[in-house]
Structure 1
């Protein structure tokens, strides 16, 4: 009986093992038929390289601190060995240009006592000055502030003592999101170090608003009271600031972020307008103070708020109750609005899409000083109205730019050419038909009230080269590089570089064994090839077999 019981237990055990075995085999079979789990997408090698590059410079921290760059600058100034005069002369750098093509320019100010003296602020070329109203082969000279200034976003000249000048540094369109814009356009720009001031016409400079150690900031607008030049307002990424002692100290008077424009009533300087908002920052709207910045009111009553681009204001100087506001979302104009009662109420006069896809980036409104119905609106191109914005006529065409070797000092195109993407405007204080514009191609002006235009870029070496610049291996007078919004340019041994291809120039190459063979690129991986050293009409597409879908901006 015991033997039979043991045999039964053994049989049951074997049967159970057999059943479990079948189940395991079935499970394994199902697993074998199931698709493998998706592989985790890893960052590209380029991202690893960039992270390593940054980590090595941030060590022992994980990221470079807000003031790290300026501390490094101070350290280099203090510790780098000074070269002897003989050795210094032997290793001195020489500017090659281009001197016939201007670069992106964000700010302009005209000396109110002498309109031949003009200051402009480049996006990454610092501060420049002309004593010839921008006219001539060597019209511009670089103004060395003694500080590490790339982008200049605002300039203000004291109307009483024009030797006193203020500049706001940085170029920021999205709050704490200026990272160069190589792939994502809306991150274009650079951070600044605050506000600098000179008392001697630019010979020496000092810090006024010192943001050297908190550098994820920018200053986009400056306005000096027309009745007391010790009072200055600054529009910054951090809000509206005010100085009552000519920039010796500053106080934040309004905390809404991303102030893109500041305007003061020319007859009552207690009335101040601040346009806030950039790329969807909170509180986007136009604000008004009637008590010199103590209190602020958000203006609505016909004027939109919470736009995603920016708004630029234009006040009629003779009758400042007439005000225009150029309002845009990030990629489309919302409209141009007009107030006839000092900002209490507004009406939209046009929905014409002047800013287009640059609503976050480049547009303005300018009002004639004596005729309130004569306005010029800048966006990608320049538009003019003589009936208060009811109708506009397009006056410039960026696509008319000339290729090849344009002469230093111009012309750069026909009379209806002004480069694309207009950022700032300033009128001659004595001749209202003379108006200056800055755009992605430098400095332009009209002398006939916006009917024709001319480039003023002689010697204004501020173009922005993307990486991928190429030099010939055995010819020191041959090189090629791609520019931000200024096509691809070829150095041929002179100040006037050859402009080719178009668009934003990007990476380039020169065949090391045959310098007649060159490669250039425009945005979105549009690759071109030339077999005769890049001369006009010699470039052809070289993208056959390349999948360009999803390619980055550059």
Structure 2
């Protein structure tokens, strides 16, 4: 059930009281000045949309990621407890600490398409760690600076990008060999409060960088269409561009968290007009942003507080506050089953997840086995699908199926698994969303396949 609603936010107002006094009379003058207000026309989803996943209440969460096998990973920033990375392989019912960083907080975490975990910490000696066995062990990745960084992204299958704030501006570094060598991919100079807030990479390799800032004449949105060799400034100067997401069509969805030159809001650069920034929703501070597999936009916002959704690529929005607390919402994540996860904007132990998948007709992928994890990439795929299974399996032939999201089987065949990896030509599939399942007597693993 939905009902229409209007929210009026008055950003700044004050009452100016002037009292003029002379010997004959006393004059009182009240001047009410309203500097700025805006009206949001959005609908309100009145049913409960969210559930709370249990997590230790003595921890504050900074980041959350979900791998393609459905395992949830959480990083913490608690001041009085050991910090680190926690993992749940049973939908958040229980948690295991798989990395203990002691007093050093977790600033960033990202999981690449084959399940390798990369973590940025506040440790000045070892700020960058990686696990290639799902958190069982951790390796130190050498970096050319000692400060923590706030963003990790992946360009292709081998190159890792990290973004941070340098002493005089924002910087993005890239390494193709896990820290043996580093290149400066992006740098702003004489912008002392600027930092890299988000990095997004499209399916055709375009790189977008959003910059945050704490001083005027900084911030904004940059893009490279040639792998970082050249950059162009696209706009939103003096704005805190803190959330970026590309959809399958190549549209860039932009979340702004206020700034010195305007309020927050959601913007878009659509693929058919790559140099025009379109304002989709003005006003709220956008603290988190995610897209599900159909490109629906989910944003954690403040003023008004809650989570909003657009199912028509930013044309209209609805507020999904059923089951949420009062307060600003923060980071938003999507998993391979199209569940949406949300954190509060201030540190807390609360994890919210959509009660149901956000794509109609999709149920949780079957066959999850904690001993095996299936990772497929690229996403979306146009021709050759690559796959890797985490777990001990013998080389040989394995059965697989491809089904559409309604469960109708499209294909059944066998593939060759060598050193837990395989490749499969799927160029014959029409564009759309599918479920890929590989199975044998000892395992059944599924993952969502997006054909572009």
Displacement of 1:286 in angstroms is: 1.1
In structure 2, relative to structure 1, the CA distance for the partners of 1:285 and 1:219 (3 Å cut) is: same
The answer to whether structure 1 residue 224 and structure 2 residue 154 are counterparts is yes
Identify the residue that residue 140 of structure 1 maps to in structure 2: 95
Task: Output the CA distance in 2 between the equivalents of 1:450 and 1:319.
Answer: 19
Displacement of 1:418 in angstroms is: 4.7
SS at match of 2:316: coil
The answer to whether structure 1 residue 347 and structure 2 residue 289 are counterparts is no
Task: Output the CA distance in 1 between the equivalents of 2:232 and 2:66.
Answer: 31
Aligned match of 2:198 in 216, 238, 261?
A: 261
Identify the residue that residue 392 of structure 1 maps to in structure 2: 317
Detail structure 1 runs of 4+ shifted over 4 Å in the superposition.
Answer: 190-193
In structure 2, relative to structure 1, the CA distance for the partners of 1:277 and 1:100 (3 Å cut) is: closer
| Residue pair 2:258, 2:265 contacting (<8 A) in 1 also | no
SS at match of 2:141: strand
List per-residue Cα deviations over 1:84-122 (Å, max 9, x = no partner).
xxxxxxxxxxxxxx965364422222112x11x121111
Displacement of 1:192 in angstroms is: 8.5
In structure 2, relative to structure 1, the CA distance for the partners of 1:339 and 1:192 (3 Å cut) is: farther
List per-residue Cα deviations over 1:281-309 (Å, max 9, x = no partner).
76311111111112211112xxx2122x3
Displacement of 1:273 in angstroms is: 0.9
Q: Larger % of strand: which?
A: 2
In structure 2, relative to structure 1, the CA distance for the partners of 1:278 and 1:142 (3 Å cut) is: farther
Displacement of 1:128 in angstroms is: 1.4
Displacement of 1:382 in angstroms is: 1.1
Aligned runs of 1:248-287 on 2, under 5 Å? 248-256=180-188, 257-265=194-202, 267-269=203-205, 271-280=206-215, 283-287=218-222
SS at match of 1:245: coil
Larger Rg: 1
List per-residue Cα deviations over 1:461-517 (Å, max 9, x = no partner).
xxxxxxxxxxxxxxxxxxxxxxxxxxxxxxxxxxxxxxxxxxxxxxxxxxxxxxxxx
Identify the residue that residue 111 of structure 1 maps to in structure 2: 67
Identify the residue that residue 448 of structure 1 maps to in structure 2: 356
Aligned match of 1:129 in 60, 69, 87?
A: 87
Identify the residue that residue 112 of structure 2 maps to in structure 1: 158
Task: Output the CA distance in 2 between the equivalents of 1:142 and 1:224.
Answer: 25
In structure 2, relative to structure 1, the CA distance for the partners of 1:388 and 1:99 (3 Å cut) is: closer
Displacement of 1:438 in angstroms is: 2.4
In structure 2, relative to structure 1, the CA distance for the partners of 1:206 and 1:104 (3 Å cut) is: same
CA RMSD of aligned residues (A): 2.9
Task: Output the CA distance in 1 between the equivalents of 2:216 and 2:58.
Answer: 31
Task: State the aligned residue count.
Answer: 285
Identify the residue that residue 121 of structure 2 maps to in structure 1: 169
TM-score by length of 2: 0.57
Q: Larger % of helix: which?
A: 1
Identify the residue that residue 253 of structure 2 maps to in structure 1: 324
In structure 2, relative to structure 1, the CA distance for the partners of 1:219 and 1:192 (3 Å cut) is: farther
SS at match of 1:365: strand
The answer to whether structure 1 residue 205 and structure 2 residue 138 are counterparts is yes
In structure 2, relative to structure 1, the CA distance for the partners of 1:141 and 1:328 (3 Å cut) is: same
Task: Output the CA distance in 2 between the equivalents of 1:126 and 1:280.
Answer: 31
Task: Output the CA distance in 1 between the equivalents of 2:326 and 2:98.
Answer: 24
In structure 2, relative to structure 1, the CA distance for the partners of 1:192 and 1:285 (3 Å cut) is: farther
List per-residue Cα deviations over 1:426-478 (Å, max 9, x = no partner).
2121x22x111222333221133579xxxxxxxxxxxxxxxxxxxxxxxxxxx
Aligned match of 1:375 in 256, 276, 297?
A: 297
In structure 2, relative to structure 1, the CA distance for the partners of 1:152 and 1:386 (3 Å cut) is: same
Identify the residue that residue 174 of structure 2 maps to in structure 1: 242
Aligned runs of 1:432-511 on 2, under 5 Å? 432=338, 434-439=339-344, 440-442=347-349, 443-448=351-356
Task: Output the CA distance in 1 between the equivalents of 2:290 and 2:55.
Answer: 29
Task: Output the CA distance in 1 between the equivalents of 2:237 and 2:317.
Answer: 24
Displacement of 1:326 in angstroms is: 1.0
Task: Output the CA distance in 2 between the equivalents of 1:244 and 1:120.
Answer: 26
Identify the residue that residue 533 of structure 1 maps to in structure 2: none
Listed as ranges, the gaps of 5+ residues in structure 1 are 1-97, 171-189, 356-362, 397-414, 452-554
TM-score by length of 1: 0.47
Listed as ranges, the gaps of 5+ residues in structure 2 are 1-53, 189-193, 360-452
Displacement of 1:191 in angstroms is: 7.5
Displacement of 1:353 in angstroms is: 1.9
Task: Output the CA distance in 1 between the equivalents of 2:216 and 2:105.
Answer: 21
Task: Output the CA distance in 2 between the equivalents of 1:272 and 1:283.
Answer: 19
